[in-house]
């Protein structure tokens, strides 16, 4: 017997077990990014208060004892009992809430539990977990469950079961726990000693107890379903509908609870051959308990040691993770019910896809960020009739697809023939795994051949070794799969013909689209030409109108001048009437009227002289400048004095 033994509750992973361990971790790391989860790592130990605040004093983990210690500075630390609490601490400390929510991360991490004296359980175990923080959409709960189910399928555990329950919200939870306390109090004598001590503080502990007497009491204990609030009932019903659409093996079990005090609403576990492989649920209050703002979150964690026990043989190497291909964008819960199954189908086929959850909080993202190739949008009004829009983000082209044909069309665009589509059944999933394993066999043969060629290409012994290795693997693979491949030859030919017809149809559609685009461009050009011609015609008409206005203005001024002259002529007859007695003729009309003196009585006949100008005093002045006296019997008359030309 060796002098030193592994510490109680710990174990070694030996070299012949490591391939199985690596395959479990490799499957986890390949699958999680396909669902949009990125890896995170947190420290092995944290402040001990972090776990006591998060778990609660009566959660059971505290009673089973945290692995606590003090550092040389006196700070009390604890090895992590689960990775979720550390992830929430990192979420707040690093302000990851400033990123696009929900934040989706996964981890592969060891956890530690001191345990009680003599208890036969692992004191160090490993978890594969994934957390989605920042959304209360029940479709996100369905995604977490679907990821856990896909992980089991990738490992070949097809006979798994998903057990689902609801713990309700805070209000209905308190009412339900009061009812449970009353029930267990009336049956206190049938409880085990541990449950007698714990049921008053946390009656859920009795529901999860494995003692025979407690288990029989739990079978007939009251359930919470009749006490759920309207919101809790609606969310739980929506989750069940999502899982039903994805055809996952789900059954309701009111005994599915968790002794951690931060769970609420949906909780679920995966069971395989009577063993619980993992547990998860929604924990909307944990962020607030640890000092942050109230933030919804949901997660799940597998125990890798349990997986190692149930896997009898190492699974084949997983496929490489797919690139981001499809973004599905519903605009409401009805359209989401159609896109969530499509999302699950794409991921089953090894195609990376994501669902836009922003519709649940009323904020629709207009921009598409990330390396997506295609965008699928579905209006709420067209959820069960009408069309969806499939957009090629690289070519910037849109295609309207009837809702009934959306699944087949998306799979065809993704490079999956409709003849190869699976309906989500177990036989289809097994067929896909066999195909993947054959592909991985070919890859390993190529790697072996390449490695041998590079290392010992000149050695006859190396050639014999390579030939022997290739021959053995090829012979085994051919003997195993020859019948299946021979039976699939006609099918492959038909698939090739179908793909060729689809390509020709796509080319014809693209050609018609280009022609329609050219016709639209010609119509736009003709419309612009007509618009320019109308604009020139309007300018000419405005110019003619301006000219006509100038002519009318000139005519108006001329007419006004004529009226003024006519008025002057009307005034002239009055002057002529005054001179009629002097014998003026018509010829004399229009001559200048000037005052004249009649010098009668000065001798001879009357003599008319031109009136002189008047002096400043008003007396007339003779031509010489001497004033003419007004006396002498002379009279002042107005007479016509002819101009020089008339004299």
Please give the full DSSP string across 576-636, using - where no structure is assigned.
Answer: HHHTGGGT--TTTTTSPEEEEEE-TTSSSS--EEEPPPB-TTS-B--TTSPPPPS-SS-EE
| Structure-token match 């039976």, residue found | 487
Give the residue with greater pLDDT, 480 vs 404. Answer: 404
Give the residue from 306, 328, 343, 445 showing the smallest Cα distance to 375: 328
pLDDT at 334: 85
Q: Please tell me the predicted confidence (pLDDT) of residue 501.
A: 80
In eight-state DSSP terms, residue 357 is: G
How does pLDDT run across 98-127, given as a tens digit for each residue?
888 999 999 999 999 876 655 667 889 999
618: tokens are: 């008003």
pLDDT category at 562 given cuts 50, 70, 90 is: confident
CA distance 297 to 141: 9
* Interatomic CA distance for residues 183 and 333, integer angstroms: 38
Q: Which residue has the tokens 């609403």?
A: 265
Q: Please tell me the predicted confidence (pLDDT) of residue 24.
A: 92
For 470-611, where are the E strands, in sequence order? 593-598, 608-610
Give the integer Cα–Cα distance in Å for 266 and 257.
10
- For the ranges 31-45, 503-517, 629-643, the maximum mean pLDDT occurs at 31-45
User: What was the pLDDT predicted at 646?
Assistant: 46
Alpha helices in 35-133 (DSSP H): 48-55, 83-93
Contact 430, 315 (CB under 8 A): no
Q: Using one digit for the tens of pLDDT, what is the confidence trace for 270-298?
A: 999 889 999 999 999 899 989 899 999 99
Residues 6+ apart with CB under 8 A from 170: 264, 285
What's the confidence (pLDDT) of residue 620?
52
Check: CB of residue 288 under 8 Å from CB of residue 295: yes
pLDDT for residue 385 is more than 50: yes
φ, ψ dihedrals at 593, nearest 5°: -95, 120
> Quick one: which H or E segment has residue 555?
helix 460-578
Q: Which pLDDT does position 211 carry in this prediction?
A: 84
259, two tokens: 């002794």
pLDDT at 193 > cutoff 90: no
Both tokens of residue 166?
């609801």
Residue carrying the six token digits 């036969």: 120
Q: How far separated are the first and last CA of the chain, in Å rounded?
A: 170
CA dist 204 → 53, 63, 224 (Å): 19, 15, 12
Residues making up the chain, counted from first to last: 647
Cβ 331 vs Cβ 378: under 8 Å: yes
Residue 131: the pLDDT is 97
Query: Please, what is the Cα angle at 20 between 16 and 25, to 5 degrees?
Result: 135
Neighbours of 374 (CB within 10 A): 20
Most confident of 55-64, 65-74, 106-115, 234-243: 234-243
342 with 328: CB under 8 angstroms?
A: yes
Residue with tokens 């017809």: 501
Provide the 3-class DSSP secondary structure of residue 82. Answer: coil
Distances (CA, A) of 134 to 78, 137, 285, 292, 353: 27, 9, 12, 12, 19
Question: What tokens does 632 get?
Answer: 């002498």
């Amino acid at each position: 017997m060796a002098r030193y033994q592994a510490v109680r509750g710990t174990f070694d992973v030996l070299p012949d077990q490591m391939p199985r361990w690596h395959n479990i971790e490799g499957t986890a790391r390949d699958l999680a990014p396909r669902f949009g989860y990125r890896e995170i790592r947190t420290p092995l130990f944290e402040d001990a208060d972090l776990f006591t605040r998060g778990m609660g004093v009566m959660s059971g983990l505290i009673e089973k004892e945290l692995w606590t210690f003090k550092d040389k500075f006196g700070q009390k630390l604890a090895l992590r009992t689960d990775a979720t609490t550390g992830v929430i601490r990192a979420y707040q400390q690093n302000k990851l809430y400033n990123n696009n929510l929900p934040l989706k991360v996964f981890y592969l991490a060891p956890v530690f539990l001191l345990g009680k004296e003599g208890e036969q359980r692992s004191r160090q175990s490993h978890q594969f977990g994934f957390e989605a923080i920042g959304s209360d959409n029940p479709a996100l709960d369905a995604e977490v469950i679907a990821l856990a189910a896909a992980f089991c399928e990738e490992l070949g555990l097809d006979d798994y079961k998903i057990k689902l329950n609801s713990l309700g919200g805070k209000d209905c939870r308190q009412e339900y726990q009061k009812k449970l306390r009353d029930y267990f109090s009336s049956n206190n004598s049938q409880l085990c000693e541990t449950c007698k001590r714990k049921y008053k503080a946390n009656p859920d502990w009795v529901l999860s107890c494995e003692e025979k007497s407690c288990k029989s009491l739990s079978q007939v204990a009251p359930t919470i379903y009749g006490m759920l609030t309207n919101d809790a009932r609606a969310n739980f019903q929506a989750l069940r509908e999502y899982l039903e659409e994805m055809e996952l093996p789900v059954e309701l079990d009111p005994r599915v609870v968790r002794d951690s005090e931060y769970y609420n609403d949906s909780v679920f576990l995966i069971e395989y051959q009577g063993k619980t492989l993992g547990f998860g649920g929604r924990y909307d209050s944990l962020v607030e308990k640890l000092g942050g703002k109230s933030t919804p979150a949901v997660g799940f964690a597998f125990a890798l040691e349990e997986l190692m026990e149930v896997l009898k043989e190492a699974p084949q190497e997983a496929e490489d993770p797919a690139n981001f291909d499809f973004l599905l964008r519903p605009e409401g819960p009805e359209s989401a019910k159609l896109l969530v199954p499509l999302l699950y189908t794409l991921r089953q086929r090894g195609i990376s896809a994501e669902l836009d959850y922003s519709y649940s909080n009323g904020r629709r993202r207009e921009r598409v960020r990330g390396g997506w190739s295609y965008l699928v949008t579905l209006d709420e009004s067209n959820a069960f009739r009408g069309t969806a829009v499939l957009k090629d983000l690289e070519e910037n082209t849109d295609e309207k697809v009837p809702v009934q044909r959306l699944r087949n069309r998306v799979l065809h665009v993704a490079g999956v023939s409709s003849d190869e589509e699976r309906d989500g059944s177990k036989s289809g999933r097994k067929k896909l795994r066999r195909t993947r394993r054959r592909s991985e066999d070919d890859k390993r043969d190529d790697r072996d051949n390449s490695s041998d060629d590079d290392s010992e290409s000149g050695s006859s012994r190396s050639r014999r070794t390579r030939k022997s290795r290739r021959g053995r693997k090829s012979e085994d693979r051919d003997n195993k799969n020859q019948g299946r491949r021979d039976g699939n030859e006609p099918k492959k030919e038909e698939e090739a013909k179908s793909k060729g017809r689809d390509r020709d149809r796509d080319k014809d559609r693209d050609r018609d689209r280009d022609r329609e685009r050219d016709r639209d461009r010609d119509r736009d050009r003709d419309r612009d030409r007509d618009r320019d011609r109308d604009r020139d015609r309007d300018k000419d008409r405005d110019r003619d109108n301006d000219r006509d206005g100038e002519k009318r203005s000139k005519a108006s001024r001329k007419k006004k001048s004529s009226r003024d002259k006519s008025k002057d002529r009307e005034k002239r007859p009055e002057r002529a009437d005054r001179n009629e007695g002097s014998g003026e003729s018509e010829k004399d009309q229009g001559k200048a009227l000037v005052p004249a003196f009649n010098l009668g009585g000065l001798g001879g006949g009357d003599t008319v002289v031109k009136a002189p100008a008047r002096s400043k005093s008003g007396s007339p002045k003779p031509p010489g400048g001497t004033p003419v006296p007004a006396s002498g019997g002379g009279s002042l008359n107005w007479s016509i004095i002819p101009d020089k030309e008339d004299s």
